Structure 1
Amino acid sequence: MELDIVALSRLQFAITALYHFLFVPLTLGLSVLLAIMETVYVMTGRVIWRQMTKFWGVLFGINFALGVATGIVMEFQFGMNWSYYSHYVGDIFGAPLAIEGLMAFFLEATFVGLFFFGWDKLSKVGHLAATWAVAAGSNFSALWILIANGWMQNPVGSAFNPQTMRMEVVDFYEVLFNPVAQAKFVHTVSAGYVTASIFVLGVSAWYALKGRHIEIAKRSMTVAASFGLASALSVVVLGDESGYLSTEHQKMKLASIEAMWKTEPAPAAFTAFGFPDQEARETHYAVHIPWVMGLIGTRSLTTVIPGIEELVDHARSRIRQGLIAYDALQRIREAGSTTTVPAEVREAFEANGADLGYALLLKRYVDDPRQATDDQIEKAAWDTVPNVPTLFWSFRIMVGLGIFFILLTATFFILSIRRKIDAYPFLLRVAVFAIPLPWVAAELGWVVAEFGRQPWVIEGVLPTAAAVSNLGATSLLITIGGFVVIYTTLFIVEMSLMLKAIAKGPEPDFEPEAKLISPNIVPAE
């Protein structure tokens, strides 16, 4: 039953997170596109750019509202479903979330109001500043969320306190500038920019096919293609950086993504295709590209990437070292203070404390890890291997879609330069059908990130199975059903509102164009 609770708790959080992330990428990308369009309006004085900004702003507002509604629930889930996690790392994880709520979200929400209701109350430059503040707030909010998530992937700047039984911050600067968090932030934000670009490109292509709002559609496609191409290229570059950091901090994730069961001589080959078999611990019908994985993962020809079996051996060793730390911790807790226990106990904990989390993997099989058998230690070591087929295919589909986005946006970018952006109906149809694909890629990206971290909720520190609240399976099933119904309803509402706004199209804007001749000067007859 305990394992069922862990699985159900993970399922519930996965559902809410994946639903929430349907709205986040579009918010991130559209906010910047709105700012770019309004900047052109302020610089040129051409009303059509204001009309464009208002139209895409309506779609941004619908998406933003639904994103807020789904995101709030996730905050509460940490305390409800993951209470031990919140207790164990609340001092660290809570700080970025609090800053995000107090600074970034309120900044974003305040200027969203000015964006929608300030058109006729603010000056052009003042309203433009509010629009850029919306874009900054959206991205700033993502920054703090991803700092928190990046720390879960690479828990730096913290230490375990045996007196309080909690992780505590020892260097907030290190938490803030965690290289994993910074890479995840830029990669995730760039993916959001691609999502919004493909969305604007696809909707505008639909207008072009229907012969409606042609001038707005052509300008929107030009902006989306340019911005989308730069963003799609950034996603690839920053994805490579994330892969390189995984080589340093999450070796098992990288080996699982590649279905690399055994360590290969450097430089390792990249598996372009295959069918990983986790039971047999081999990949059937594998197609390898020599050297590529070694170059991507290590940026060298001599550094070895360890395979899954070698990493399991390493995990087995760390579990046994963790048992030494666990035993020392129990003796410290019994004594009530680190100062009243023998020096060798303190030294044993200090020497092996970094492996304490590995000992906690045994909690799945035995209440007291010190009583674990060799067979249970072996099982716990293999538990450090995530679901290899899921990671293998999720990563490759995501990468394939990324390449497609580069080709699509590059094609429309070239057509925009040649002033033939609406000249090829087939390409316009491709753009329309491509609209949902960035969401597929974004969701698969989170599958790779979060599945790849299992069985850890905090890499190497706290196993997922040890982080859940003591809830009943019935309660979890009821709430999962409730979330699915509510979130599906919200999604249907959003799609209905978005489709209705798109079908209606941009509204006329009657602000007069900027005049070339001053009204106080009478031309000569």
Structure 2
Amino acid sequence: MELDIVDLSRLQFALTALYHFLFVPLTLGLSIMLAIMETVYVMTDRPIWRQMTKFWGVLFGINFVVGVATGIVMEFQFGMNWSYYSHYVGDIFGAPLAIEGLMAFFLEATFVGLFFFGWDKMSKRGHLTATWAVAIGSNLSALWILIANGWMQNPVGSAFNFDTMRMEVTDFSAVLFNPVAQAKFVHTVSAGYVTAAVFVLGVSAWYLLKGRHIALAKRSMAVAASFGLASALSVVVLGDESGYLSTEHQKMKLAAIEAMWHTEPAPAAFTVVGIPDQEDRETHYAVHIPWVMGLIGTRSINTEIPGIEELVELAKVRIRQGITAFDALQQIRSLPPGETVPGNLRKTFEDNGHELGYALLLKRYVEDPRNASEDEITKAAWDTVPGVMPLFWTFRIMVGLGFFFILLMGVFFVLSAQHTLEKRRWLLWVAVFSIPLPWIAAESGWFVAEFGRQPWIIEGVLPTAAAVSDLGAGTVLMTIIGFVLIYTTLFIIEMGLMVAAIRKGPDPEEEPESPAISSHVVPAE
């Protein structure tokens, strides 16, 4: 079987990104929870809260180090595997990443040392300031990275310069305040908060089941349940905002997620389950809820959501317009150096240049898009449809888990307030076995976001197939094998360190505050 450099490059980036995102959500959420716990310690001066902060801080530190190690490689990949992408949009994409490194990562990395080694060398308020700086730095890192990613989903504040043959920034404030980027940021960090809350809840539940560290476990569960409930509710609300923005900026992604093959009368129904068939272009055994998709996607009862077939027809129009832009660009490039571009030629490109990327979709079928046949234009138009089946079900797994987290956190919030957790051992086991679920939801979310954007690396601007480096397929395959081996080793080491730290438990610096707390020990099985 012939190895495809585009698919291999995509696979390599997907694997490294998915590995890296195993560590990011926990870092985001635990950093905030540590700051909350230490704030309570400073306000109350109760030693148990210091013990809690230090214990969960150890787990945060292990996760933070491995997350940094896996994240550094990803930025190098843009230059190694996606060199044309880096050349084409480096002026725009590189700016947020540079700011993230200078402003956020160094803030986070500097103060994380003070967090671990400054307990007995700084005042309580000084150390609390360092802890909050770590939390703010972690979340600022996510902000700038998601600004860069959001621009790939909705490339605002930029334009193609035919003199440099590159995309350039025209309005940095538009890039910064891109509504897609802002929605992705708040949705992603909220998902990270849920991840940390479920992790703390599950580990604390395990301690209760084993009758260990009861004081720490109960207080940790109270913090996790309240923090997690607020976060889980916000994830659903902010996810709704992302869906609404997709209706405006990524119509094909939304249609594929819903397996909506044809435009339906407004308001469109939501397909709960079904079996999408991309070859026959229909969804078998579909179960619909009337009106729901229309209300979520358009927030109205009279606005249509375009279906896949209609969007493909629109893509044909945009491809033809892109061919016009491509032809004008080739004429401009053929002019002798220094010669002024004729006004009519410049206007032709300016009127059609925003669709240039659609002409590049034809490169898969013909060397010069201007020579494309109608059949090739039709094929290129259908290439704008991502894989419907995986998107359809991955999205529903993510949404289903989101509502489960609301239920889980709500139940534990009530039981924690009633001090009756120890009486429901089966619920404690539910919390323990729920620990992996936020990672499944988070990885599903990234799959929907990135796979749903295909065939674009920059939505409507640059096809993924045009962005790769000119590397040998064998070279990329060897790097994939190397990355998988190294990252799997790091993951196993991280899991071993985390499990060892959890089994060891907190340092016995302070005893539980009162006999009443430890009298409710749940017998170990």
- TM above 0.5: yes
Q: How does 1:250-329 map to 2 (within 5 A)?
A: 250-329=250-329
Q: Partners in 2 of 1:236 and 1:442 — Cα distance?
A: 13
Deviation (angstroms), 1:423? 2.3
Equivalent residue number for residue 198 of structure 1: 198
Q: How does 1:139-288 map to 2 (within 5 A)?
A: 139-288=139-288
Deviation (angstroms), 1:149? 0.2
Equivalent residue number for residue 88 of structure 1: 88
Q: Partners in 1 of 2:162 and 2:391 — Cα distance?
A: 35
Equivalent residue number for residue 39 of structure 2: 39
Length-normalised TM-score, structure 2 = 0.96
Equivalent residue number for residue 111 of structure 1: 111
Deviation (angstroms), 1:131? 0.3
Q: 1:302 to 1:155 in 2, by over 3 A?
A: same
Deviation (angstroms), 1:343? 2.4
State which drifts further: 273-282 or 333-342.
333-342
Deviation (angstroms), 1:348? 1.0
Q: Which amino acid aligns with 1:210?
A: K
Q: 1:3 to 1:335 in 2, by over 3 A?
A: farther
Deviation (angstroms), 1:337? 6.5
Unaligned runs of 5+ in 2: 514-525
State which drifts further: 501-510 or 311-320.
501-510
Q: SS in structure 1 opposite 2:168?
A: strand
Q: Which amino acid aligns with 1:120?
A: D
Q: Which amino acid aligns with 1:259?
A: A
Work out the number of aligned pairs and report it: 513
Equivalent residue number for residue 370 of structure 1: 370
Contact kept, 8 Å, 1:338 with 1:346, in 2: the verdict is no
Q: SS in structure 1 opposite 2:167?
A: strand
Q: Deviations over 1:26-52 (max 9, x none)?
A: 000000000000011011111010000
State which drifts further: 32-41 or 327-336.
327-336
Q: Which amino acid aligns with 1:117?
A: F
Equivalent residue number for residue 435 of structure 2: 435
Q: Which amino acid aligns with 1:293?
A: M
Contact kept, 8 Å, 1:222 with 1:421, in 2: the verdict is no
Equivalent residue number for residue 48 of structure 1: 48
Q: How does 1:380-399 map to 2 (within 5 A)?
A: 380-399=380-399
Q: Deviations over 1:62-99 (max 9, x none)?
A: 00000000000001000000000000000000000000
Contact kept, 8 Å, 2:225 with 2:413, in 1: the verdict is yes
Contact kept, 8 Å, 2:48 with 2:512, in 1: the verdict is no
Q: Which amino acid aligns with 1:500?
A: A
Deviation (angstroms), 1:417? 1.3
Q: Partners in 1 of 2:306 and 2:426 — Cα distance?
A: 46
Equivalent residue number for residue 10 of structure 2: 10
Contact kept, 8 Å, 1:3 with 1:465, in 2: the verdict is no
Q: How does 1:19-38 map to 2 (within 5 A)?
A: 19-38=19-38
Q: SS in structure 2 opposite 1:113?
A: helix
Deviation (angstroms), 1:419? 1.4
Q: Partners in 1 of 2:407 and 2:338 — Cα distance?
A: 61
Q: How does 1:121-132 map to 2 (within 5 A)?
A: 121-132=121-132
Q: Partners in 1 of 2:440 and 2:197 — Cα distance?
A: 15
Q: Partners in 2 of 1:154 and 1:115 — Cα distance?
A: 38
Equivalent residue number for residue 521 of structure 1: none
State which drifts further: 359-368 or 219-228.
359-368
> RMSD in angstroms over aligned alpha carbons?
1.3
Unaligned runs of 5+ in 1: 514-525
Q: Which amino acid aligns with 1:441?
A: A
Q: Deviations over 1:337-367 (max 9, x none)?
A: 6963332211111110110000000111111
Q: Which amino acid aligns with 2:457?
A: V
Q: How does 1:351-362 map to 2 (within 5 A)?
A: 351-362=351-362
Contact kept, 8 Å, 2:275 with 2:284, in 1: the verdict is yes
Q: 1:111 to 1:386 in 2, by over 3 A?
A: same
Q: Partners in 2 of 1:421 and 1:321 — Cα distance?
A: 64
Q: SS in structure 2 opposite 1:392?
A: helix
Contact kept, 8 Å, 2:225 with 2:410, in 1: the verdict is yes
Q: Partners in 2 of 1:512 and 1:421 — Cα distance?
A: 18
Contact kept, 8 Å, 1:63 with 1:494, in 2: the verdict is yes
Deviation (angstroms), 1:267? 0.2
Q: Partners in 2 of 1:90 and 1:363 — Cα distance?
A: 22
Q: Partners in 2 of 1:12 and 1:512 — Cα distance?
A: 49
Q: 1:133 to 1:381 in 2, by over 3 A?
A: same
Percentage identity across paired residues of the two chains: 80
Q: Which amino acid aligns with 1:430?
A: V
Q: Which amino acid aligns with 2:335?
A: A
Q: Partners in 1 of 2:422 and 2:452 — Cα distance?
A: 42
Q: 1:336 to 1:354 in 2, by over 3 A?
A: farther
Deviation (angstroms), 1:508? 1.4
Q: SS in structure 2 opposite 1:127?
A: helix
Q: Which amino acid aligns with 2:479?
A: T
